């Protein structure tokens, strides 16, 4: 079946470097994508979202890129800090008439090296 | 903090029992979605409630049921608990229109352990 997935389960970066977390999706009907951050013992925290009529969106220290041609989504975190250590999930929604809920990938564990 | 609260924080049940989990949505939100997150996995959509009615459902059996109240808080009920039901149960509230593109804000979750 169609699903959202991530390329790497773990990503280790040096503090201060930029981080790039990737996500592939296969549902061509998806038109809304979200990145969530989940720290240990907590619920997912909204980071940034993007709709399919855009290819880039920026927030505070974060940028999401969407390439619909290859069905790829990425999250860039600038100047990574220790507090960025968490599991990052991409999620998609088809935006259809019914409530299909969000489809999540398995997550990427971002580890910040001092 | 999202303003979404869940209770209890942790719960231990035995196989065959029934459980009720509760969620209070963020102020101004009238849509509540429930997710199950197994250890090491991403959350999986159970169902969504909008204006007190089920508005969509994922691939979960009927023993997973829910309610939404006039104040938009919600309950998740699970009957005949199985060992595989052990997971973190997440509630998310969103928007005013029950649209799938409304941003969902998650609560801290309830950790259910079934023995």
The confidence score (pLDDT) of residue B27 equals: 85
Cβ contact, residue pair A51, B101, below 8 Å: yes
- Write the pLDDT tens digit of every residue in A30-51: 889 999 999 998 999 999 999 9
C-alpha B1: how far from its chain's center?
18
pLDDT at residue B97 is higher than 80:
no
The residue of chain B with its CA nearest to that of A32 is B101
Confidence of residue A98 (pLDDT cuts 50, 70, 90): low
In chain B, pLDDT over 90 holds for what percent of residues?
A: 77
Confidence of residue A54 (pLDDT cuts 50, 70, 90): very high
Give the lowest-confidence range in B65-74, B92-101, B105-114: B92-101
Query: Who among A44, A51, A101 is closest to B106 (CB)?
Result: A44
Q: How far is C-alpha B27 from the geometric centre of its chain's CA atoms?
A: 17
CA quadruple B77, B80, B81, B83: dihedral sign: negative
Query: CA geometry: angle at B31 spanning B78 and A41, to 5°?
Result: 60
DSSP string across chain B: --S-EEE-SEEEE-TT--EEEEEEPPTT--EEEEEEE-TTS--EEEEEEETTEEEEE-S--TTEEEEE-TTS-EEEEE-S--GGG-EEEEEEEE-SS--TTSPEEE---EEEEE-
State the average pLDDT for chain A. 88
pLDDT grade for B55, boundaries at 50, 70 and 90: confident
Which chain A residues are within 8 Å of B38, Cβ to Cβ?
A: none
A-chain residues near B102 (CB < 8 A): none
A61-75 average pLDDT score: 95
B95 conformational bin, left if phi > 0, alpha if psi -120 to 50, beta if neither = left
Say what the pLDDT of residue B113 is.
98
CB contact under 8 A, A103 and B98: no
CA separation, residue A20 to residues A78, A79, B12, B35, B38 (Å): 9, 11, 38, 27, 25
**How far, in Å, CA of A46 to CA of B76, rounded?**
22
Per-residue pLDDT band at A95 (split at 50, 70, 90):
low
| Average pLDDT, rounded, for chain B | 92
Chain A residues with CB under 8 Å of B103 CB are 34, 46, 49
pLDDT score at A93:
86
Cross-chain CB nearest to B100 (options A42, A95, A107): A95
Rounded to a whole number of angstroms, the distance between the first and last alpha carbons of chain A is 40
How far is Cα of residue A112 from the mean position of the Cα atoms in its chain? 17
> Residue A33: closest CA among chain B residues belongs to which residue?
B101
> What number is the average pLDDT over the span A19-29?
89
Give me the residue from A42, A44, A99 closest to B48, CB to CB: A99
What whole-number distance in Å separates Cα of residue B46 and Cα of residue A102? 10
Average pLDDT over residues A91-104: 75
Cis peptide before B8 (omega within 30 of 0): yes
């Amino acid at each position: 079946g169609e699903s959202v997935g991530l390329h790497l389960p773990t990503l280790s970066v040096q503090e201060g470097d930029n981080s790039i977390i990737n996500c592939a999706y296969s549902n061509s009907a998806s038109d809304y994508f979200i990145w969530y951050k989940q720290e240990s013992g907590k619920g997912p925290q909204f980071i940034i979202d993007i709709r399919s009529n855009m290819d880039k969106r920026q927030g505070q220290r974060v940028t999401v890129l969407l390439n619909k041609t290859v069905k790829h989504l990425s999250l860039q975190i600038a100047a990574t800090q220790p507090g960025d250590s968490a599991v990052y999930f991409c999620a998609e929604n088809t935006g259809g008439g019914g409530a299909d809920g969000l489809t999540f990938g398995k997550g990427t564990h971002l580890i910040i090296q001092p | 903090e999202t303003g979404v609260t869940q209770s209890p924080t942790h719960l231990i049940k035995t196989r065959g029992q029934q459980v009720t989990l509760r969620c209070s949505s963020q102020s101004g939100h009238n849509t509540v979605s429930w997710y199950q997150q197994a250890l090491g996995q991403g959350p999986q959509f159970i169902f969504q409630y909008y204006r007190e009615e089920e508005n969509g459902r994922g691939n979960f059996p009927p023993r997973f049921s829910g309610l939404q109240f006039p104040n938009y808080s919600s309950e998740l009920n699970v009957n005949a608990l199985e060992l595989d039901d052990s997971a973190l149960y997440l509630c998310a509230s969103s928007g005013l229109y029950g649209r799938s593109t409304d941003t969902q804000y998650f609560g801290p979750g309830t950790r259910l352990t079934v023995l």
